[in-house]
Structure formats: C-alpha cells, structure tokens
Amino acid sequence: MIKILALLLLATLLSANPKIYSALGDVVYDNVEKIKELKNIKELQEYESEIDRYVISVYAAKKMGFSADMNSEDLDKKKYLNRLRKLSKTNDMFYKYVQDLYKESIEKEDAKLWQKLINSGLIDTQRYKYEILEFYFAHSSELDEQGVVKEFLDRDKDLKTKNTKKNTSILLNEEAQEDKIKSIRKKDKLKQEKTQKTLEDEQKKKKAEIKGK
C-alpha cells in the first residue's frame, strides 16, 4: 500500500505542476526534463554537475509547491516563490546556452550538433521553421530525417518535391539564360562581321573608282 501511494505521488509530481505561481513554475517544471537531457550533448557535458544539482532542486521545489497549494501560510508561499525565482534564472541560463550553441552550430555548419539542439525541445522550432528546413536541405546528406525535421516534412509531404523542382527550375533557368547569352553573342558577332564586310566592300569600290579615273 505504501509503495502504491509512493508511486502515485511520484506520478503526480511528474505529470502535474503546482497551481500556485504557475505562470513562473510551469516554465521551470516543463523544461526540467529537457534540460536534464542536455547532458547527452557533448558540447554541454561540462555543465553536467550543474544540471544534476538543478534537476534535484526543481524536483524539491515542485514537492514544496504542492505543499504550498494546500497550505494557507503566507510564509511558506513566499519561501516557495523565492525558490522559484532562483530556479527560473537558472532555467533561463540553460536556455541561453542552447540558443547560443544553436546559432554557433549553423555558423560552423556542424550538422550533427545542430540536429541534437533542434530536437532538444529548447528551440522555438516554429519560429525558425524555414531556417531549419533550409539548413536541413543544405546538409541532408549528413543528417537523419528524424524529430523536428521529420515532423515538418510529414506535415508538408510535397516539400521535398517542391524543393527538388525549385532547384531543377533554377538550373534550367540558368541554362536558358546561358543559351540566350550565347545566342545574343553569336548574333552580335555575325552583325559585326557583316558590318566589317560592308565596309571592306565600300573601300574596294572606292579604290576601284579612283583607279578608273
């Protein structure tokens, strides 16, 4: 019975958030598992101990938040709010790490790191949708079609076809332009040769007239 109650309590802690100060708390609690997974990204492993401490603090705060929900004591609520504010700052710090690393991965064209970051849940993928797809198509040979990219492509099933058609269209247009330029140059050359021949014929005619006199 005790084990069942403990499991129910754990399930509640994981699936729901305290109602008190939810505007601040929801962001912290909804991101904690995502931040925990950052330890699996090599470039962020230097923060592993900080992440572990943060995760433990968040779980403790969540338990405290549920107690505050049931307790009318202002002192407990104030203590909980102060703890939430500190955790919120740490959440923002990890969030900024991920944003900076995301931009860096694009600049360095580090496709593998880029894919881990967009699948971390800490990037606003809807905001960067077209940037993400553009990067994916440019590096598709290095990447797997998974996670966020797969969701975007599944939603727009003809996107790949459109992208291929667009590239083909650009290529054909470039070839057409090149042929057009060659044709213009050829016409100009023929016109120049014709003009040159006309001048030469006129000169010969004038010379003949002079000799005749």
Instruction: Give the tens place of pLDDT for each residue, 82-139.
Output: 999 999 999 999 999 999 999 999 999 999 999 999 999 999 999 999 999 999 999 9
Tokens (6 digits) for 197: 């021949």
| The predicted structure's pLDDT at residue 145 | 86
What whole-number distance in Å separates Cα of residue 133 and Cα of residue 118?
Answer: 11
Distances 97 to 11, 123, 130 between C-alpha atoms, Å: 30, 11, 22
What contacts 41, CB < 8 A, 6 or more positions away? 113, 116, 117, 120
Are 152 and 160 in contact, with CB atoms under 8 Å apart? no
| The predicted structure's pLDDT at residue 209 | 56
The mean pLDDT value of the chain amounts to: 82
Q: pTM for the whole thing?
A: 0.66
Tokens (6 digits) for 180: 């057009």
State the DSSP code for 139.
S
Alpha helices in 108-158 (DSSP H): 111-118, 129-138, 147-155
pLDDT in tens, 45-80: 999 999 999 999 999 999 999 988 887 777 788 999
